[in-house]
Amino acid sequence: MPSEKVFLAYGSPASGKTTAFEHLREQGVVNYVSVGEVTRREISKKTPLGQELQRCLTEVVEYPPRLIAQVMVEAIRNAAKGESVVVVDGFPKYSREVGPFMKIISNADLVLNGVINFQLSLETAINRVENRRICTSCLGQVKVSSPEDNCCPHCNSSGSLSQREDDTPEVIKRRYGDYTRSYADTLNTIHTFFPDLEEYLVSAEGTEEEILTRLTILFDSARVAQQREQPNSIRKVGGSSPSPGSLGFPE
């Protein structure tokens, strides 16, 4: 019987999705496969695929869907060997990548469980990006509560916080629009393969702890539903529920 435990994750820039899934991975709740991580690893190991990826970066062209699929196939297969649910982030990002992705999961005898859509207003996205700083002294990431804040909470340097050049309202607005269009397009294409596939909406507003709590509830309910449907293959998703407020996010 195909194993129904793969979720796809989508969210606009500044939705906090990567941070949230990295925490759930540390807790053993999910097996998180991010295309950014996987491609960076290939590039740094200078594998043949990594060199091809590097050429795309150098020439400033998008990775071809065939190349992304080749890079992701092993990562997805390995992730699916574990007991936890698998969350794939960043692939398929565009509608043209949906076909190659479907081939991978069908060859691995996996079935999509659902799509997780992190919902964030443009206003909050702009706000988060405007308050994002990098410490030039310790290279730590800092969230300031007012634009005048200029002291690093990690290394206590004063006057060391700087803003990334592309963290402007104009750039974030454009990226948000691009994301919204490509997500709608990609989801439509996914639905041509699985018309009844569930789209789980998760609010990405609020604090990181709040987002994590919402995700934990989602995975708990997905697990309960799965156990009801497959009484003979009860899966342990592992770990206890995180207690909000004690998760130790970097500020």
**Min. distance of Cβ 155 from Zn ion in angstroms?**
3
**Min. distance of Cβ 157 from Zn ion in angstroms?**
5
Measured from the CB atom, the residue of 18 and 157 that comes closer to Zn ion is 157
**Maximum alpha-carbon separation in the chain:** 60
Under the criterion CB under 5 A, does residue 150 sit at the interface with Zn ion? no
Q: How far is CA 17 from CA 10, 45, 59, 104, in A?
A: 8, 26, 29, 23
The two tokens of residue 44 are 């740094």
Under the criterion CB under 5 A, does residue 138 sit at the interface with Zn ion? yes
What is the bridge-based pairing of β-strands 85-89 and 3-11?
A: parallel
Q: By three-state DSSP, how is residue 117 classified?
A: strand
Q: For residue 26, what is the DSSP state?
A: H
Piece of the chain touching Zn ion by CB under 5 A; list 114-122, 147-155, 170-178, 228-236: 147-155
Q: Which of 86, 126, 129, 135 binds Zn ion (CB under 5 A)?
A: 135
Starting at the earlier edge strand, list the strands of the sheet with 161-162. Answer: 141-143, 132-135, 161-162
> H or E element: which one contains 191?
helix 169-193
Under the criterion CB under 5 A, does residue 57 sit at the interface with Zn ion? no
Measured from the CB atom, the residue of 139 and 217 that comes closer to Zn ion is 139
Piece of the chain touching Zn ion by CB under 5 A; list 2-10, 38-46, 136-144, 164-172: 136-144
**Min. distance of Cβ 130 from Zn ion in angstroms?**
19
Q: Which of 154, 173, 175, 191 binds Zn ion (CB under 5 A)?
A: 154
Piece of the chain touching Zn ion by CB under 5 A; list 6-14, 28-36, 46-54, 152-160: 152-160
Q: By three-state DSSP, how is residue 23 classified?
A: helix
**118, 202 in Cβ contact below 8 A?**
yes
Count interface residues toward Zn ion (CB under 5 A): 8
Q: Is the dihedral of CA 55, 58, 63, 64 positive or negative?
A: negative
**Min. distance of Cβ 167 from Zn ion in angstroms?**
17
**Min. distance of Cβ 207 from Zn ion in angstroms?**
22
Under the criterion CB under 5 A, does residue 136 sit at the interface with Zn ion? no
What amino acid occupies position 156?
N
Positions that interact with Zn ion (CB under 5 A): 135, 137-138, 140, 152, 154-155, 157
